[in-house]
Amino acid sequence: MKRIGIVVLAAALPLLIAGCTPTASEDPSTSDPAASAAPSPSGMDQMLPPTTVAPDDLEGTDVRVILGTSLVLAVPEGSEAEWRGTTADVAVAEFSAGGPSEGAVFRPGFIVREVGSTAATVTGPDGATVSFTITVSEY
């Protein structure tokens, strides 16, 4: 009996979804004017991925990060919680520790807060410190 219910649901789901979208034959003048007045999303309205860099590649560099994203450290699996970091200006960027949280494991990195530049460091589990600069830009 369960199998029949699953088959019926699988057949009905596309029909339900199709019924929720307007068809080409509908008159656009009868649609909700507020919905048609909404601007279409531009490329800048979409979520951008974080900048991901291995700590070994950071020494002495100036890493450019776009405002609204973050700098993620590509660290070896299992060491995420063992990394520490600092910035000279936490108004520009701030270190975010990695490690397990709510069933997921997060990589360490830096949350960018405003346009500008700041000196930054990361220290790995072996005690080695890497110094670099984070430059946050609007685009």
Evaluate if residue 44 carries a pLDDT over 60.
no
CATH number at residue 87: 2.60.40.2020
How far apart (Å, rounded) are the C-alpha atoms in residues 75 and 128? 13
* pLDDT for position 72: 98
Please give the pLDDT value at position 97: 97
The domain total for the chain is 1
- Residue-level pLDDT at 52: 98
Global model pTM greater than 0.85:
no
**Residue 69, pLDDT above cutoff 70:** yes
Average pLDDT, stretch 55-64? 98
Residue 128 maps to a domain: yes
